Structure 1
Amino acid sequence: MNRFTDNALSSWMKADGPDSDIVISSRVRIARNLSSAPFPMLATNQQSQEVLNRVSSVINSDELHEICRFELVPLKTMNELEKRVLVEKHLISPNLADDARNGAAILSENESISIMVNEEDHLRIQVLYPGFQLKEAWELANQIDDVFEGAVDYAYDEKFGYLTSCPTNVGTGIRASVMMHLPALVITKQINRILQAITQVGLAVRGLYGEGSEATGNIFQISNQITLGQTEDEIIDNLHGVARQIIEHEKAARQKLMGESRTKIMDRIRRSFGIMKYAEVMDSKESAQRLSDVRLGIDLGLIHEVPAIAMNELLVMTQPGYLQKHFGKMLSPEERDVHRAKLIREVFGNK
């Protein structure tokens, strides 16, 4: 299990994807419940254990092995820091980490597939792909869902579709999202207009860690809100089309910055690079903003000293859980700021 928490970067994040200079990742998550047991919030300890046993038997099936190999990670075998690292790597939700009876994560070897058991729903099947690969993520998630549907009876209603604990997931049970780095739209002050347009077409805008999280470091998570009354393909196509438009707007904004404010944007990027390379103290908010500047500099070809993959790594490495796991001890907020700066200096080659 340590291999899932010792490394900040999941294997799938090391791969390049389409439009990865703007789209960090594409995600599809499917919520499902077994018809034979109460939903997790109402289930007894014995009932939730029976769900876990039933689901665990499916991961050893030949049908699932044809897709990939999985490892079952019961949450009760993990300490708080290890669970926090899985949250920071987007492999489990804060809800599963904090309060789940017989909760577990079923993880693929490269960590691109994560199946949460006994979270808000019995099953949360999640697929993560690098870059803009929303349709590919949906195809794989759908394959995995088909394997489980062939092995267990889902809670399903002819009128409403798949039944879920939260009414907002009823219907298809699908949540699709793209995590986007949009610094040029923020710098050129176009972002509010873009975000308002997004919400008007039935999509939601959140921060790095989904619902309730702040959009720090110019990273925005765009996802569907509607799961009832549309097919899965319609949901994916709608989000895909809107995301494509946002990508083009961000590209245009970056060209505008390089054309009209080249010296000013170069100064901003280089200042952030220098601060990250030499700072002795760095809080999480400043870290996110400096990382955004340096990532933009790499994507614009203005910085060559660090690889782009290091920015993905630092997204996780600078989070509180991973910092404490990496240094092997609990840290106060002030100590985290010092150790965060130390870890960043090491990545930037300045130990």
Structure 2
Amino acid sequence: MQLKISFLTFFFSILLIITSCVSVQVSDNTVSTTSTEVKKPKNIILLIGDGMGLSQVSAAIYYKDGKPNFERFSTIGLSKTSSGNELITDSAAGATVFSTGVKTYNGAIGVNIDTIPAPTIVEQLSNRGLATGIVATSSIQHATPASFYAHVKSRRLYEEITAFAPNSGVNFFAGGGLKFFNERKDGKDLLATMRAKGYEVITDKLPKTPSDKNELILLASNGMPKMSEGRGDFLPNATKLALEKLSKNEKGFFLMVEGSQIDWGGHDNDADYLIQELLDFDKTLGVALDFAKQNGETLVIVTADHETGGFTLASDGSDYNTIKPLFSTTGHSGTMVPVFAEGPGAASFNGIYESIEVYHKMMALFNK
């Protein structure tokens, strides 16, 4: 009897020890899981390939010498791009969802469907002391960049859009659009206004080092030249310059970079134009990803406002070893577009969601 009781005591003692070990292991796993929750990025770089659908991204894989930077991303989602009033969006409504988180009508710049101004991510972050920047290969008054700092009822009101720049809070502008500052119908010299607001105005060439002042870099009267017209490395170099400048802010930064003319190549149904612009954009992704990898606190997001051209990479008849780029429209299409993300918080961009979620996901990460 005594032996039996001792055995039972021993058995339950062992069971208790095993249970304790399992409990500790579960507890340890819980701690481990908690420690790998979404990390807050200090900085976000949003790169927008205007008009860039999945076939455009695929073209970077087929036409680039070497591995495309698109393949460096570990997180990929899909965005549904319809605007607030039509199934197919334009760039103004498509960019306003990224800048404000609201669906609006085609043609709207930073306003909701009732033309009421909506606070932009640039305005909100600037008010919190973060640095902000806008880089584009279009004019800075074009639909996508304009949506991040202006509030007007129509994307065609370029002079009205420009009037928002002096008080925008943007620390770094680079692109085209000079004539809307100094060749205005109202006779105003907004370059002088920008200087009075503390901006260094540069109109000849991209500087090699950033200024201590806010910068307005305007290197074309309207849009920048095409890659085929000798634009060179403006986009990757302007992005690098912006990152060098904005990263000096200890609170963090937000930078929007647009490969504007991917869209223009699609509208023209010009495959060579589109592919050259796309490869330039891919090179710019490399700049952003290299910075983020070294920095460790930067989230890189790459997406599009919509797809342009109904672009596809078809076979050349029955020749399945030859790709023949084709278009189905000179306008936009309603297909979903990819969202690539890499860095702290990247996992938030998995899945399929409305385009407004790009804004809400960014703000949620900034507000953690």
Normalised by the length of structure 2, the TM-score is 0.25
Between the two structures, name the one with larger relative contact order (CA 8 Å, sep ≥ 6): 2
Max Rg structure:
2
User: 1 or 2, which has the higher strand percentage?
Assistant: 2
Greater share of residues in helix: 1
TM-score by length of 1: 0.26
